[in-house]
Amino acid sequence: MARSYPYGKVPSSVGTVISERFETPMVCCGYCSTHFAMRAAKAGFSSNGKLEGHKVRSSGGRAHNAGSNAGEERLGAKRAYGVVLTGITTGAVLARVKAGYAVTIAISYAKLPGYLKVQSNDFGHKVTLKGYRSGGYVGFFDPLYSQGSQGTWAKWTDIDQALWSSGHNTTTTKR
């Protein structure tokens, strides 16, 4: 299964994917998404999820290969790098993206449309949204995508139905 870009690629000036494909099993989606958000908020981060992402994981108190939750991601970003993320409601996600902030969202992967998927299973997942384009398009950056690849412009209405009722974080600053 390969993702496609029916609505175009997000310019690399907005950001590029920080992939979790560096390890098996791939359980660092939350930390790679948090790493992307940290890069959107503050200069000086690499694009290697194994470096900063793993430090966020250990600083947030989660053992490796054990998933993550939004609170641990916020705690790890603050403890490890001084980057403040805040939890937001599902209803606040789009407004934060429109305002230019990076937002990590918790989703049900199976509920995403095919053009965004690279796997066919059903699992809880974390991605980052960054960038907004008129017509209701958001920049979609999935850690399951290849390292350094461009994000996909996605219809907000294709994503909102996959959102969990909680587990979303946003940056409090933007650069």
Q: What is the b/e burial string over 68-88, where b = at least 16 CB atoms within 10 angstroms of the residue's CB?
A: bbbebbbbbbeebbebebeeb
C-alpha to C-alpha distance for 24 and 16, rounded to whole angstroms: 22
Residue 34's φ and ψ, nearest 5 degrees, are -65, -40
CB distance 116 to 9 below 8 Å: no
C-alpha to C-alpha distance for 31 and 28, rounded to whole angstroms: 5
Burial of 59 (0-12, 13-18, 19+ CB in 10 A): middle
Between the two ends of the chain, the Cα-to-Cα distance in Å is: 34
Residue 114, pLDDT score: 95
- Residue 158, classed as helix, strand or coil, is helix
Q: What are the DSSP E strand ranges found in the chain?
A: 85-88, 103-108, 124-133, 137-141, 152-155, 168-171
C-alpha to C-alpha distance for 56 and 143, rounded to whole angstroms: 15
The pLDDT tens digits of the residues spanning 147-156 come to 999 999 999 9
Q: What is the mean pLDDT of residues 47-54?
A: 87
Q: Which of 29-33, 39-43, 47-51 has the lowest mean pLDDT?
A: 47-51
- Residue 169, classed as helix, strand or coil, is strand
Residue 106's φ and ψ, nearest 5 degrees, are -95, 130
Distances (CA, A) of 132 to 33, 101, 140, 142: 17, 10, 10, 16
Angle at 163 (CA atoms; ends 157, 165), nearest 5 degrees: 130
The pLDDT tens digits of the residues spanning 84-121 come to 999 999 999 999 999 999 999 999 999 999 999 999 88
Q: Which of 27-41, 62-76, 150-164 has the lowest mean pLDDT?
A: 62-76
What the chain holds in terms of domains, given with CATH numbers, is: 29-171 (3.90.70.10)
Residue 1 has pLDDT above 70, yes or no: no
Q: What percent of the chain has pLDDT over 70?
A: 99
For the chain, the average pLDDT equals 93
What pTM was computed for the model?
Answer: 0.95
